[in-house]
Structure 1
Amino acid sequence: MAAETVTEPPPAAAAEPPPGAEPPPGAEVLDDAGVLDGVEVLDDAEPLTGWGRTAPTLARVYRPRTPREAAAAVRAGGARGSIARGLGRAYGDAAQNAGGSVLDMTGLDRVRTVDAVAGLVVCDAGVSLHRLMEVLLPLGWFVPVTPGTRYVTVGGAIGADIHGKNHHVSGSFSRHVASLELLTADGRVRTVVPGTDLFDATAGGMGLTGVILSATLRLLPVETSLMTVDTERATDLDDLMARLTADDHRYRYSVAWIDLLARGAATGRSVLTRGDHAPYAALPRRARRAPLAFRPGRLPAPPALLPEGLLGRTTVGVFNELWYRRAPLRRTGELQRLATFFHPLDGVPHWNRVYGRGGFVQYQFVVGYGREETLRRVVRRIARRGCPSFLAVLKRFGEGDPGWLSFPMPGWTLALDIPAGLTGLGAFLDELDEEVAAAGGRVYLAKDSRLRPDVLHTMYPRLADFQALRAELDPRSVFTSDLSRRLAL
């Protein structure tokens, strides 16, 4: 690969030297002059929700475009504090702050430099994974970890310590962060590196240690923008787990769609999809003309309002049956576009509208290896309950990640979407929480909107360390969210 460094010029505001006292090593102290000079802020409070569109709350939204403006917005946050927000893809209330302020960080969106030899990118926290793919793929590099949507900011990816189909091989997003710049409650911008307590509290810390301003990421080399994919059907949950256990080491990416309405002998029947980045030699002649082209397609958005109950047990049951039957018994070596393999729902703008006005709850948990019977019981309970979920996936996690509140741990993770208006849903999920916690498992905070704080302490053994560091770093709770209040973080 040819040596190349790509640099986007910084805006003029970013080039100004910070005034004030001499900062300590690794920290830049931002002054108090011109607190809101140049910061775009809404005059009135704005209603905000997570991607699940439940529990809206009002907050004053600031839209900084530079680190200086971000610091000014934090200082102006008031008694209810502030929280950073990216593209709004956290499903629950992690990026909401009722009665306080929210920093929309998407204005800090520069890709600063790309080292196309070493495979490093330095970028602002508001840059999306979609934008990174546009910049990096032509140079032969790919983001090291991507979740089910590419419309996630880098800051959000670190704050939630996102994972993807390759966790069993590559771990979570934070494992690929070489360093980050963090605006803390005292107004300093600290350079934070792996192996420190502040890094471990920030990775997966849901924005509660400060505002991530930029990051340096290690990248994955690729030869093409296509994937080579193997697909097969599993007859039930045990068949699926056996296939994953036996062969996952052969694939970089692995995920299974699971039919959670199937019962009896078919409980847990699944479609297993695994793959890797296609080498140049695997491409047909026509595709070799532009092997690194990135052209994700888009479909029309669903209507703003859809009838309630559209995704009931009957309609989802029919969809699940058709989806399972149309999948091949076994197909190998299929070439797919990146967007098709990683982000099929991104092709439908505002797909979260299909759940109707009431929105939906995404429930994701993990239980460790050796706790397969807990997974079986939970799947059977969901099937008996008849939860109409057509977006349900099962994956295997590899080694645990460094973040004190990072979700992944070695084991099995199941994620499912459920219409929020389902009768008795809250009590049912509370029961599942208890079962997961009793097995040493946990739920994913970036997708949570209803977990009880007493269960959280059981699920996250480093929670006390996180709370102690946060109390020292931010004694006045400058950084606060609806999630942190609900869970007493």
Structure 2
Amino acid sequence: MTKIESWGRLSTPAHTLVTLSSVTNAPDIIANTRGPSLPYGNGRSYGDSCLNPSGTLWETRALDRLISFSSESGLLTCEPGVLLADIQRLLIPRGWTLPVTPGTQLITVGGAIANDVHGKNHHRHGSFCDHVTTLELARTDGKRLTCSKEHNTDWFAATAGGLGLTGVILSATIQLKTACGPWLTTESIPYHSLDEFFFLSDESESEWEHTVSWIDCTSQRGVRGIFMRGNPSPRRDIPEERPQKLSLPFIPPMSLVNRFSLPLFNSIYFHQQSKRTGIQIQHYKPFFYPLDSIKHWNRAYGRRGFYQYQSVVPRKHREDATAEMLNEIKRSGQGSMLAVLKTFGARQPPGLMSFPMEGVTLALDFPNRNTTTLKLFERLDAIIRAAHGRIYPAKDARMPRELFELGYPNLQKFQNFRDPGISSSLSRRLTGS
């Protein structure tokens, strides 16, 4: 067996690895695997949704072929192991781009569908599965299903955001959107209160495609952050690809993110970014994927690893709930360098288990301080529960089952579409199977 860890590096359980290298042979391999199994992409889920301790992981990265692409319509059909980075690199120079992309492009298409990932433009383009037109699914009973928003629609809705639990995706067709080139017109604006953040968010939605903010959750002088917004630029030139240079080559014995480094980093970052205000032309990579430029950045949290806590609360509770969470984090003496605050638009989610809802989402990384960190999460859970919000399973490693059931009212309906031969650490923790 092989030890596998998720991106949060909280544990390294042993798995049996089975590589799927051909969509022709994959259905037979899937049907003949014994015991609980799980499709596995690039391992970028933070918590335990991509882990199956003592069970089998079907590795899908070798299913990385682009099957067809129409330069006229922008329809791309590909296998599930294709990285979003590959799609962007190959097709932006040809005038097409993914409509929705999360904070890393180093995830697979299968993973993007399984977690129905979102980006900085939910108010404009929704989540990833809003742009998936068709997918093919292999089940452990040997059946293959073609699902779309017109055919087998219930299976499509269950698989979109279904955490890989409905079957193994063999192929997907995605509707891309036109792109002039790899550049964005961006603007950064410092803000000094939550009211100012929400004003900027609401004001920007009609004119700006992408909106997001970094927030300093350690500031003792009230709320402060950097609001960033962007639109596609008409600039067309394609710069030469540069090799990745920055890397964290070792795992430090203790977290580099701690009560000494955190306030200093956040203060320096806020003041530096405050000097870079105004309109500028920026390549899409540093705007969409700032951390992708640092290889193995997750090692910075030391041997214990880290948690990511991402929640969403409805619009009507957004001001009070966000303020309560930030105050609770400050009182705890813990915090995050990578704190992201952004809003979701009023859109019907494509999946039964899709995470976004109209409101505000706060995502933070926390070094694993064992009981101290878990006690903080319990207090944050109480705020989410009272506000009728929910936590993102793709980032989770410890959500209580009761909060999961409250946050995802379609859970029982979703359970009817689960593949009985597929299970994960997260599914066993939150559903019992």
Greater alpha carbon shift after TM alignment, 346-355 vs 382-391: 382-391
CA distance in structure 1 between the aligned counterparts of 2:61 and 2:255, rounded to whole angstroms:
34
Equivalent residue for 1:210, pick from 161, 167, 170: 167
Structural mapping, 1:132-151, within 5 Å: 132-151=87-106
How much is the aligned-residue C-alpha RMSD, in angstroms? Answer: 1.5
1:384 aligns with 2:331: yes
Does 1:64 pair with 2:20? yes
Larger radius of gyration: 1
For each residue in 1:340-373, what CA deviation from the matched residue of structure 2 results, as whole angstroms up to 9, or x when unmatched?
A: 1111111111110111111100000000111021
Distance in 1 (CA, whole Å) between partners of 2:307 and 2:166 is 26
Aligned length: 428
Aligned to 1:485: 428
Contact kept in structure 1, 2:328 and 2:379, CA below 8 Å: no
Secondary structure at 2:61's aligned position in 1? helix
1:373 pairs with 2:320: yes
Q: Distance in 2 between matches of 1:354 and 1:72?
A: 41
CA contact (8 A) 2:343 2:361 kept: yes
Query: Normalising by structure 1, what TM-score?
Result: 0.85
Say whether the 8 Å CA contact 1:77–1:100 is kept in structure 2: no
**1:188-267 alignment, distance < 5 Å:** 188-194=143-149, 196-263=153-220, 266-267=221-222
Whether 2:228 is the aligned partner of 1:273: answer yes
Mapped to 1, the partners of 2:28 and 2:51 lie a distance apart of: 19
In structure 2, distance between residues paired with 1:222 and 1:296: 21
Secondary structure (helix, strand or coil) at the match of 1:374 reads helix
Contact 2:255–2:300 (CA under 8 A) maintained in structure 1: no
| 1:209-358 to 2 correspondences below 5 Å | 209-263=166-220, 266-280=221-235, 291-293=237-239, 295=241, 298-328=244-274, 331-358=277-304
- 1:102-129 alpha-carbon deviations (Å, 9 max, x no partner): 0110000001111111011111110000
The percentage of counterpart residues that share the same residue type is: 38
Q: Which runs of 5+ in 1 are unaligned?
A: 1-44, 281-287
Which 10-residue stretch deviates more, 329-338 or 52-61? 329-338
Instruction: Give how far 1:427 is off.
Output: 2.0
Is residue 110 from structure 1 mapped to residue 110 from structure 2 by the alignment? no
Which shows bigger deviation, 100-109 or 246-255? 246-255
The letter of the residue matching 2:311 is F
Partner of 1:361: 307
AA aligned to 2:2 is E
Contact 2:189–2:227 (8 Å) recurs in 1: yes
Letter in 2 for 1:208: L
CA distance 1:311–1:159, change in 2 (3 Å): same
> Is residue 122 of structure 2 the alignment partner of residue 167 of structure 1?
yes
| Corresponding residue number in structure 2 for 1:463 | 411
Q: 1:259 to 1:159 in 2, by over 3 A?
A: same
Residues 46-90 of structure 1 show CA distances to partners (whole Å, capped at 9, x for unaligned) of 1112100012211100111112332233234322x1100111100
2:38 matched to 1:83?
yes
Match among 406, 419, 429 for residue 354 of structure 2: 406
* 1:469 to 1:179, Cα distance in 2 relative to 1, 3 A: same
SS of residue matched to 2:364? strand
Q: Which amino acid counterpart does residue 247 of structure 2 have in structure 1?
A: A
For residue 47 of structure 1, what is the aligned residue in structure 2? 3
Normalised by the length of structure 2, the TM-score is 0.96
2:344 to 389, 392, 397: 397
SS at 2:155's partner residue? helix
* Distance change (3 Å), C-alpha of 1:294 and 1:403: farther
| Matches of 2:10 and 2:89, distance apart in 1 | 32
CA contact (8 A) 2:255 2:303 kept: no
Moved more, 102-111 or 60-69: 60-69
Deviation at 1:297, TM superposition (A): 5.0
Query: 1 CA distance for matches of 2:189 and 2:275?
Result: 5
Corresponding residue SS for 1:327: helix
Once residues 250 and 331 of structure 2 are traced to their aligned partners in structure 1, the CA distance between those partners, rounded to angstroms, is 32
- Which protein has greater RCO, CA pairs closer than 8 Å, 6+ apart? 2
Q: Distance in 1 between matches of 2:368 and 2:198?
A: 29
